[in-house]
Structure 1
Amino acid sequence: MNAYRAKPLNFPWPPLIYGAAALGAVAIGHVFPIPVAHGHGWLPWLAGCALILLAALLDLWAIKALLERHTAVLPHRCATCLVTGGPFRFTRNPIYLGYTFAMVGLGLITLNPWFFVMGMVAVALTTLIAVRNEERHLLSRFGFEFERYCRHTTRWI
């Protein structure tokens, strides 16, 4: 199978990576708790809720943009067109960015700093396992158009 027809991933790893990172943050937080001052009252909780809401809206906006262009939403499916509108104007990975915002939001709500650490681990693993393969797939499918898009749009933020 040539690179033009190859799928970017064999399995949709990113949701699994972020889910495992969240479970890991909870587990590590129970074994090695990091004390956090509770002097800010509702502020961390409200900020966390706002970030989770932002994450959900960003993910829905990205899915809407993909569906409007009739291309794959799941990361293990072949792209039929290059989507550069909607949230893809600002970041090449808005869905994964939404997952990251949700991790930070959960960390603020639960006052568990391990969510921030595991969020960074999830970003690194997602970049290594998924993003690079997806970018290679898009480059093989869309060539110069994808290169131009990459020059004007950051990978994350």
Structure 2
Amino acid sequence: MNAYRAKPLNFPWPPFIYGAAVLIALALARLVPIPVAKGHGWFPWLIGAALIVLAISLDLWAVKSLLDRRTAVLPHRCATCLVTCGPFRFTRNPIYLGYTLLMIGLGLVTVNPWFFIAAIGAVALTTLFAIRKEERHLLSRFGFEFERYCRHTARWI
């Protein structure tokens, strides 16, 4: 099988990576709580809620952009089109960015610092195990067009 027909991933790892990160953050909050100063009030909760809404909106916008172009949404399917519109104008990975913002928002709403640490780990693992393979797939499928897109659009933000 040539690189043009190869799938980017054999399994859709990113949703599972972020799901595991959420579970780990919740478990660590119970097992090894990090003390947080009391009296934080409503401000972190409000910022966290706003980030959660932003994250969900970003994910939905990205999925809609992919569906509008009739290309794969799941990361283990071959791309049929290079999508550079919608949120993909600002970041090459808006869905993963949405997952990360969701974790940060959950950390603020629940006042659980483990969410921030788990989000950093999820970003690193997603970049290592998924994004690099997806980028190789897109490069093999779209060549110069993908290179030009990469030069003008950041991987994350």
Pair 1:115-2:82 in alignment: no
Q: Unaligned regions of 5+ residues in structure 2, if any?
A: none
Q: 1:76-133: per-residue Cα shift (whole Å, max 9, x none)?
A: 0000000000000000000000000000000001101000000000000000000000
List aligned pairs for 1:126-137, cutoff 5 A. 126-137=126-137
Q: Which residue of 2 aligns with 1:14?
A: 14
Which residue number in structure 1 is paired with residue 24 of structure 2? Answer: 24
Compute the TM-score of the two structures, normalised by the length of structure 1: 0.99
Q: Distance in 2 between matches of 1:81 and 1:19?
A: 28
Q: Distance in 2 between matches of 1:15 and 1:52?
A: 16
- Does residue 90 of structure 1 match 2:72? no
In the alignment, what sits opposite 2:76? 76
> Residue 37 of structure 1 corresponds to which residue in structure 2?
37
CA distance in 1, matches of 2:102, 2:36: 20
Structure 1 runs (4+) deviating above 6 angstroms are: none
1:118 aligned counterpart, secondary structure: helix
Tell me, in whole angstroms, the C-alpha distance in 2 between the residues paired with 1:118 and 1:80: 33
Q: Distance in 2 between matches of 1:38 and 1:123?
A: 29
Distance 2:16 2:82 in 1: 25
**Number of paired residues?**
157
- 1:49 and 2:49 are equivalent in the alignment: yes
Cα deviation, residue 39, structure 1: 1.6
Letter of the structure 1 residue corresponding to residue 32 of structure 2? F
Q: Give 1:59 shift.
A: 0.3
Q: How big is the shift at 1:140? A: 0.1
Amino acid at match of 2:47: A
Report whether the alignment pairs 1:106 with 2:100: no
SS at match of 2:143: helix
Distance 1:60 1:107 in 2: 21
1:63 and 2:63 equivalent?
Answer: yes
Which sits farther off after the overlay, 41-50 or 112-121? 41-50
Q: Distance in 2 between matches of 1:90 and 1:101?
A: 15
